[in-house]
Structures are given as C-alpha cells and as structure tokens.
Amino acid sequence: STAPVKVAVTGAAGQIGYSLLFRIASGSLFGPDTPVELRLLEITPALKALEGVVMELDDCAFPTLAKVEIGDNAEKVFDGVNHALLVGARPRGPGMERGDLLEANGGIFAPQGKALNSVAADDIRITVTGNPANTNALIAMSNAPDIPQERFSALTRLDHNRAISQLAAKTGAAVTDITHMTIWGNHSATQYPDLFHAEVGGRNAAELVNDEAWLADTYIPTVAKRGAAIIDARGASSAASAASATVDHARDWALGSAAGDWVSMSVRSDGSYGVPEGLISSFPVTTSNGDWQIVQGLEINDFSRARIDASVKELEEEREAVRGLGLL
C-alpha cells in the first residue's frame, strides 16, 4: 500500500478549514487511491473546537484518511509534511492599519516559515491562503532559507475560478469551454483578470465580448469584489469556494495542469513580464511533476500593462512595509 501523503493545514478550526479538511480527507486532492495524513495546526484557544472537527472527520470514515494529528506547536505539526496549506491568518480588525495587519501576520508566517525550514519533508510544497496571502508567502519564504523558493506559492485560484465563472455567465458558455484564464498581480482588489489571452470555445475572449467598457467597469470589479458581495449576501465570508480553490491549486500543482491550458498561481517572480524579481505575484503557469513554469511570450497590451503594473506596485509596497518591520 502507498505511504500516506502528509498534509498540514493551519487555522484548521476556521471556516475555510471546516470545508477544506473534508475535501482533502475524502480524496479530492490526491485522488481515491492515495491515503492522506492530516496535520492540523491551531492556536491554543481553538484546539477544543478543532477536536470537534476531528470527531466529525472520524465520523465520515473516509477510506483515504489514514491519520489525523492536531496541535499548537508548528515544529511538531509540520514534522515530515509534504504539503502545507497555510490558511490561518490574522484578519483585519476594526481600526487596524495595513502596517498593523502585516506585522500581526509576520508574527504568524515568519515562525511558520522557520518551522517548515527545520522539519518539513524534502519535497515540501507550501500554499498560502490566509491574507494578505502574497506577502504572507513572501514572509514565510524569506524565513525558510533551506527550502527552494519555488516551493512557496499563494492562492489566486479563487480569483481565477471567479473570473472563469463570470466569463461563462457573460458568454453563455460552459465553464469547461473557458481556457487560458490569467489573474495577474496581488490577491487583492488590484488583481487583474486578463481576457486578452483567455479563450471561449477556442475563440479569443476579449474579441468575442468586444466591449472594453464592460471589461473595465463591470467584469474586473465584479471578479475583484466578489468576496465582499458574498459577505453581503451570506452574512459570512466565502469559505467553501476558498477551500475548493485551495484544493484545485494544490491538486494541479501536485498532479499537473491540464494539457493545452494553464492556471493562475502566485509564485516567486523571476522578472517575467516586468514583475520585479522575488515578489510573489500571480502569473499564468503550467505545472507538471510538482513543478511550475511561468508561461512565456504573451503579448501585454496597454490596457493590461497599466493594470498589472498597479497591482505589482501594491506588492512592492507591501514588501517594503514588511522589510521595514524586519520580517524579511
């Protein structure tokens, strides 16, 4: 029998965790033939709630769930893990400035980076979902000098999936007809969903829609502000879709993206498309055998250039802020 894949999830007692753990345990991530061992990290006050979640995991009797371990000590929980899904983060509280938010998250992601550096398996792959995800990933990466930098990523797959869904609705196509979608930049309101390379049934999406005003004034803001719209409607944040996107991201990274298509992932920039080297920014990537590659050679028009630059500028400002705090 196959040895279980060890998957760490932080913030495991939170809303995203409540959806994510059951997807991983049921085989949605690595398939029905690969057993998984869950390693769940929480802050001490949330451990009791987490025990309740583990009771429910037990009660599902998932054939693919080999073992569950929980704890509040990152060095223990991350010991030997192959994948780390860093979901737990400090949300922005009332009156909190951006600097306070980055500092609070530095206090989470710097020690987690160090812990992964010392105890994770050699093949570790790290996905940051907790916001501000790109900069949290940068902090973790900077604190893990022995882990190859390409093993760190941040989630822009939910934005990617939202962009596909909105384009499908506009064009009357099925989501499966939409390919080559790209989210560029930061997982924030400045993110840029790019229709100039996306295709609907093999036709260029921007040409098919042929409406730049809709693109600028409706499509891009609808995708970027979807989280707020869901909070408004549901009275709670979009946890299930965030969990589903985290599964999509980690699965495609581990098992490979679809032939003839690409996905959006925030990864360390090598300077491609004018994104300063070292920033964790969203790109079109293909994945295979657990590695990713930024898709090269796409033409960037003026409309796209301005929007990519604006989002990347925000990432640079976040990097400057955390550097100033001594977190890098």
Angle between helices 157-171 and 239-255 (to 10 degrees): 110
**Near ligand NDP by CB under 6 A: residue from 165, 237, 272, 293:** 237
Q: Is 193 in the site for ligand NDP (CB under 6 A)?
A: no
Angle at 101 between CA 82 and CA 14, to 5 degrees: 50
Q: Is 239 in the site for ligand NDP (CB under 6 A)?
A: yes
Closer Cβ to ligand NDP, 43 or 175, answer by number: 43
Q: Is 14 in the site for ligand NDP (CB under 6 A)?
A: yes
Cβ pair 205, 304 in contact under 8 A: no
Which one, of 116, 64, 58, 48, lies nearest residue 86 by Cα? 116
Structure tokens at 95: 């009156």
Binding-site residues for NAD(+) sit at 11-17, 105, 112, 129-131
Q: Is 113 in the site for ligand NDP (CB under 6 A)?
A: no
In angstroms, give the least distance from the CB of 168 to ligand NDP.
19
List the beta strands (DSSP E) in the chain.
5-10, 36-41, 65-71, 83-86, 125-128, 152-154, 178-179, 182-184, 192-194, 199-200, 203-204, 263-268, 280-288, 291-294
Binding mask 77-96 for ligand NDP (x = CB under 6 A): ----------xxxxx-----
Which of 83, 160, 180, 187 is flagged as catalytic? Answer: 187
How far apart, in whole angstroms, are the C-alpha atoms of residue 37 and residue 153?
21
Question: Which range of residues in 5-13, 272-280, 292-300, 319-327 is near ligand NDP by CB under 6 A?
Answer: 5-13
**Near ligand NDP by CB under 6 A: residue from 3, 31, 33, 43:** 43
**Near ligand NDP by CB under 6 A: residue from 143, 156, 238, 281:** 238
Catalytic, 197? Answer: no
In angstroms, give the least distance from the CB of 144 to ligand NDP.
16
Structure tokens at 116: 């992964």
Question: Which range of residues in 63-71, 116-124, 125-133, 166-174 is near ligand NDP by CB under 6 A?
Answer: 125-133
How far apart, in whole angstroms, are the C-alpha atoms of residue 73 and residue 97?
28
Strand partners, 282: 185, 266
**Near ligand NDP by CB under 6 A: residue from 5, 6, 7, 11:** 11
Closer Cβ to ligand NDP, 41 or 65, answer by number: 41
Q: Which residues are catalytic?
A: 187
